[in-house]
Amino acid sequence: MPNEIKRLCPICRDAEIELTPYRTGYLAFRASPLMTADLPLETETYVCPRCRYAAFFALPSPMEEYEKQQVLQEALSPVEKFEHTFQNYSDKQLQKVIDGKDYVPDAKKAARNLLYRRKYGE
pLDDT tens profile 1-20: 444 556 677 777 776 776 66
Confidence band for 122, pLDDT divided at 50, 70 and 90: low
Residue of 117, 122, 116, 109 whose CA lies nearest to 79: 109
Q: pLDDT tens digits for 34-75?
A: 878 887 877 877 777 778 777 777 777 788 888 888 888 888
Asked whether residue 14 falls in the same domain as residue 50, the answer is: yes
What's the number of domains the chain is made of? Answer: 2
Question: The whole model's pTM is what?
Answer: 0.46
Asked whether residue 28 falls in the same domain as residue 55, the answer is: yes
52: alpha, beta or left? (left if phi > 0; alpha if psi -120 to 50): left
Q: Which residue has the higher pLDDT, 118 or 36?
A: 118
- Kindly give, in sequence order, each residue whose CB lies less than 8 Å from that of residue 62, ignoring residues fewer than 6 positions away: none
Q: Which residue segment(s) compose the domain that 4 sits in?
A: 1-71
